[in-house]
Amino acid sequence: MSDHPTLPPYAIAMGMRIEAIEADGAPVIALDYSDRAEGRPGYLHGGAIGGLLEMAAYAALHAALGAEDAQVRIKPVNISIEYLRAGLPRQIQAAGQVLRAGRRVANVRAEAWQDDRSKPIASCWVNFLLRPR
Amino acid sequence: MVETSPPQPSSPGIPSGAEFDPSRMAKFIGSRGHNGFLGIGYQDHGPDWIELTLPWKEELVGDTETGVIASGPIISLLDNATSISAWVRHGAFRPQVTLDLRIDYVRAAVPGRTIVARGECYQLRKSMAFVRAIAHDGDINDPVAHAAGIFIIVGETEGARP
């Protein structure tokens, strides 16, 4: 298992934290419900859910790159988010899965859930551009 | 005329009234919750579009080496701008949910600059609003991000399943 990067200021300000590490090394990122995460009254903001998904995808890629991580600069190229269920006013978690990490591009998926991991509330794919540092 | 109109159905806390005012709606939405934390503001609107702003601040940084803003706040900005553009085109607020949102990050935003997102509802169907948006940091011809998405209009869509 590799070292996990510290979360950026945006993630920390939102209250995101690494909750657990998956068997494949991908961190599970958790976000408690708070005023900062609220969209329409009583629901999570779609952007906060998207931001969490992208952070989980990013963290999964960092973990997958392992020792190479220090030599690589990772830039998100695009993201596509599907909203599956309403984000209820309680904790949300997300984890990513690297489908492929090539020489120039990495393709990553992420899912977010609340009480029941088998009922995701949102999912996404993110493509990252990999460049030498 | 305004005084005699029946009250419009509305979400709790969302200003309602016979006359839909996109600037008032955007300012209200930007004043609270997640949008309030991000500092999302209103700039301008037209018949089917609205422009919202996201000023740079330290707490929103995604890369401490460069000071570039994280992409999460840009997702939120584009989600808001496209969402409100559907109400602007419809001429009233109504409940809708995001089906999907796809964003291309064309280039990194310049640290310190305010990001402007112009959300446009380019087609409104009975149960769906088709939207797109461009985010830039000063020149719309040199965008930071491009988005496309679909909202499902909740009240207009009868469920096919229980």
Q: What 3-state DSSP class applies to B71?
A: helix
CB atoms A50 and B76 under 8 Å: yes
pLDDT band for position B14 (cuts 50, 70, 90): low
Closest CA to A92 of A122, A54, A59, A132: A122
Report the 10 Å Cβ neighbour count for B1. 6
Could you state, in order of their start, the residue ranges of all structural domains in chain A? 9-132
Distances (CA, A) of B10 to A57, B7, B37: 36, 9, 23
Chain B residues 114-143 with a CB less than 8 Å from chain A: none
Place of tokens 């964003």: B103
Q: What is the reported pLDDT for A1? A: 39
CATH level 3 topology of A9-132: Thiol Ester Dehydrase; Chain A (3.10.129)
Instruction: Answer yes or no: is pLDDT of A5 > 50.
Output: yes
Q: Amino acid identity of A16? A: M
Partners of residue A62 in chain B, C-beta under 8 Å: none
A-interface mutation test, from B29, B37, B152, most A Cβ less than 10 A away: B37
Q: Tens digits of per-residue pLDDT, A15-64?
A: 999 999 999 999 999 999 999 999 999 999 999 999 999 999 999 999 99
Partners of residue A86 in chain B, C-beta under 8 Å: 97
Q: In the predicted model, what is the mean pLDDT of residues B61-66?
A: 93
Q: Is B96 on the interface with A (CB under 8 A)?
A: no
CB atoms B73 and A10 under 8 Å: yes
Q: What is the reported pLDDT for B1? A: 37
Q: Tens digits of per-residue pLDDT, A58-82?
A: 999 999 999 888 899 999 999 999 9
Partners of residue A50 in chain B, C-beta under 8 Å: 72, 75-76, 79, 101
pLDDT band for position B9 (cuts 50, 70, 90): very low
- DSSP letter for B57, please: -
Q: Tens digits of per-residue pLDDT, B125-148?
A: 999 999 999 999 999 999 999 999
Does the ipTM exceed 0.90?
Answer: yes
Least confident of A25-29, A103-107, B24-28: B24-28
Q: How far A7 CA lies from chain B's nearest CA (Å)? A: 8
Q: In the predicted model, what is the mean pLDDT of residues B29-47?
A: 96
CB atoms B34 and A13 under 8 Å: no
Q: Which domains occur in chain B, in start order?
A: 22-153 (3.10.129.10)
